[in-house]
C-alpha cells in the first residue's frame, strides 16, 4: 500500500520550528535596533527656514554663549528659543557691516539669506523653526535649569553643537540613555556651572578622563546622590 506522505515530510515539524525561532529572533532583533531612538532619532536634521541657524558660525566662530539666545536655561526647565527681536538686533539693515565687509561678495549673499528675519520682524511674526529635540508627550520637560545648575555641560546632551552648520540630533535622549547617566554620572561632563556652555572644554575634559581613567570622585558622588531614578521624576 502506497504511503500518503513521503518520508521526507517527517522533517517538516523540525524545519518549521527552526524557521519559526529564526524568524522570531530576526523580528525581535530588527525591532530592537530599528525601533529605538538611537536609530531613528540620532542624526535627525530637519530643514529649517533660511537654511537654519548656523551654530558653527554664531557659537563657534563668533563665540556667542548659548545663554545669549537660550536665556532661560538657568531658571526654567524649557530651553527657550530667542524671539525675533533678538535675531533682528544683529541682522537689522546695516548692522551686518560690523561683521562683514560690504565689499566682500559674501556680504550680499548673507543679506539675502537672512532676509526672512527682517521680514518676520517687520510683520511682527515668529520664525517657524522646526524643533529638533523633543521628548514624548508623556514625559515631563527636560529640566534644563536643574542640569545646568548642577554643572552638566550642554555637550553631554547636544554634542559639539558649536560645530554644526545645521543642528542635528546628537544623542538618543531615550529613557535608558537618561538612566545610564543618572546611574553613572561619569558618563556626563560635570563641571562648575560657569563652564557648562564651553563645549570645547567639555569635550577635552571627557577625552582626558577617558584616556587617564580618572575623574573627580567627590564631585561625581555629590551629584549621584541627587540623580533620581524613580518613574515619577520624569513621567506624569
Which has more pLDDT, 188 or 52?
52
Could you tell me if residue 219 is inside a domain? yes
139-153 burial, b at 16+ Cβ within 10 Å, e below that, comes to: eeebebeebbebbbb
Res. 103: pLDDT tops 60: no
Q: Flag the least confident range among 58-62, 135-139, 164-168.
A: 135-139
Structural domain including 151 reads 41-46+134-233
Q: How confident is the model at residue 106 (pLDDT cuts 50, 70, 90)?
A: low
Could you tell me if residue 72 is inside a domain? no
Could you tell me if residue 207 is inside a domain? yes
Grid cell of 74 as nine digits: 538657568
Could you tell me if residue 10 is inside a domain? no
3-state secondary structure of 48: coil
pTM for this predicted structure: 0.76
Structural domains in the chain (count): 1
**Amino acid 40: pLDDT:** 79
| Cα(175)–Cα(135) distance, integer angstroms | 10
Res. 221: pLDDT tops 80: no
Amino acid at each position: 500500500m502506497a504511503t500518503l506522505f513521503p518520508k521526507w515530510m517527517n522533517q517538516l515539524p523540525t524545519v518549521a520550528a527552526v524557521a519559526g525561532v529564526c524568524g522570531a529572533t530576526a523580528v525581535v532583533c530588527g525591532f530592537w535596533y530599528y525601533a529605538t531612538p538611537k536609530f531613528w532619532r540620532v542624526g535627525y536634521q530637519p530643514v529649517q527656514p533660511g537654511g537654519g541657524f548656523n551654530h558653527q558660525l554664531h557659537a563657534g566662530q563668533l563665540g556667542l554663549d548659548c545663554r545669549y539666545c537660550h536665556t532661560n536655561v538657568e531658571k526654567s526647565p524649557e530651553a527657550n528659543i530667542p524671539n525675533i527681536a533678538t535675531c533682528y538686533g544683529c541682522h537689522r539693515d546695516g548692522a551686518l557691516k560690523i561683521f562683514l565687509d560690504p565689499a566682500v561678495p559674501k556680504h550680499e549673499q548673507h543679506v539675502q539669506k537672512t532676509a526672512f528675519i527682517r521680514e518676520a520682524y517687520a510683520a511682527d511674526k515668529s520664525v517657524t523653526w522646526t524643533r529638533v529635540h523633543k521628548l514624548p508627550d508623556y514625559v515631563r520637560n527636560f529640566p534644563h535649569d536643574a542640569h545646568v545648575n548642577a554643572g552638566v555641560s550642554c555637550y553631554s546632551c547636544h554634542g559639539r553643537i558649536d560645530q554644526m552648520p545645521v543642528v542635528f540630533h546628537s544623542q538618543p535622549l531615550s529613557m535608558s540613555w537618561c538612566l545610564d547617566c543618572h546611574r553613572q554620572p561619569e558618563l556626563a561632563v560635570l563641571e562648575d556651572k560657569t563652564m557648562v556652555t564651553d563645549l570645547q572644554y567639555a569635550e577635552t575634559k571627557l577625552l582626558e578622563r577617558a584616556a587617564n581613567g580618572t575623574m573627580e570622585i567627590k564631585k561625581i558622588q555629590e551629584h549621584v546622590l541627587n540623580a533620581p531614578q524613580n518613574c515619577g521624576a520624569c513621567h506624569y
